[in-house]
Amino acid sequence: MEKRDNYRIYYTNCEHLEKFLDYIKIQKNYSLDTVISYQEDLIEYLGFCNYYHFSYLEITYKKAQKYLLYLYEGQGAKATTISRKISSIRSFYRFLSSLRIIDNSAFSLLVLPKKEKRLPKFLEYNELVELFSIPDCSTSLGQRDALILEMLYATGVRVSELVGIRLEDISFSEKMIRILGKGNKMRIVYFNDITLKRLQYYLENGRKKMNIKESSYLFLNRRGGNITTRRVEQILDEIIKKTSINKQISPHMIRHSFATHLLNEGCDLLSVQQLLGHESLTATSVYTHITNDRMKEVYLKTHPRARKKAS
């Protein structure tokens, strides 16, 4: 197939796309990053349709296969990338079907490549302790940054959920927080005494100085507004540079650490699923591969017969 790096230049404005993006942003409450990802995937697809003079409202199975082939051969995309892009298109067509604009979608019939099994990366506890020691808690921003790290690890929330926490969502006596997660679904997460101590110190000192706009959000930026997910990522990048840790770290990696450490300490999978806000146990079960590897390592190091070589 002809290799063309970018079909986006053949995209023309699409009223249905704008309605779909409004739908996932307002009704589904998807984060801005997720909405942008859907937008980029669909603009590329609609540009592909325009280039080949396909009507996106009349896509056949053969035309859907042609786009799949383009992702394989034209882009050389990985299985995970292809699955994500096709998933975006399927969601778009399901939305059109719900409005009775189309009857069905050929993309629902496509067989997608199997995703590579990639285990979540996580931090060892001693690495987290090093991270926690970096913020300068004599400053307002340092108090905020220290609490961000503690809250991510204590609760396992997504960074998009973290920045959405308001003071009224927190129960100090019960040490729990109401979290508005994906798809507008509410769940409860918990925190510990160490996190509570940092939280109270931040509220009584740093946040009080930063809150010039009388915001209800827990985490504020230096101008008094609520902090963004991108800024949290930047803060973590700045902190990691001051440590001896030689890893690429993201806020989601702390979420992985939360789940892995709970399972390693004996927490059951169903409880971890509920704390993470996963819809199905399948998404959570990926962490059992990590804990199984950990158990094997412990076994080989500690069992008397495992330490001995066969003669």
Which one is catalytic: 30, 38, 45, 287?
287
Residue type, 202: Y
Which tokens is 47 given?
A: 């540009």
Distance CA 38, CA 20 (A): 10
Tokens 């929330």: give the residue: 157
Q: Is 100 a catalytic residue?
A: no
Among residues 16, 85, 144, 255, which one is catalytic? 255
Catalytic residue among 85, 144, 158, 256: 158
Compute how many other C-beta atoms are within 10 angstroms of the C-beta atom of residue 2. Answer: 6
C-alpha to C-alpha distance for 36 and 32, rounded to whole angstroms = 6
The single residue of 66, 94, 231, 252 carrying the catalytic annotation is 252
Catalytic residue among 90, 175, 182, 231: 182
Q: How far apart, in whole angstroms, are the C-alpha atoms of residue 183 and residue 175? A: 25
CA distance 34 to 87: 13
Cα gap 295→123, rounded to integer Å: 17
Beta carbons of 233 and 251 less than 8 angstroms apart:
yes
The yes-or-no answer on residue 278 being catalytic is yes
Q: Which residues of 183-217 are buried (b: 16+ CB within 10 A; e: fewer)?
A: eeeeeebebeeebeebbeebbeebbeebeeeebeb
Neighbours of 223 (CB within 10 A): 8
Cβ atoms of 50 and 11 closer than 8 Å: yes
158 annotated active-site: yes
* Token pair listed for 160: 């998009």
DSSP for 274-288?
HHHT-SSHHHHHHHH
Catalytic residue ranges: 158, 182, 252, 255, 278, 287
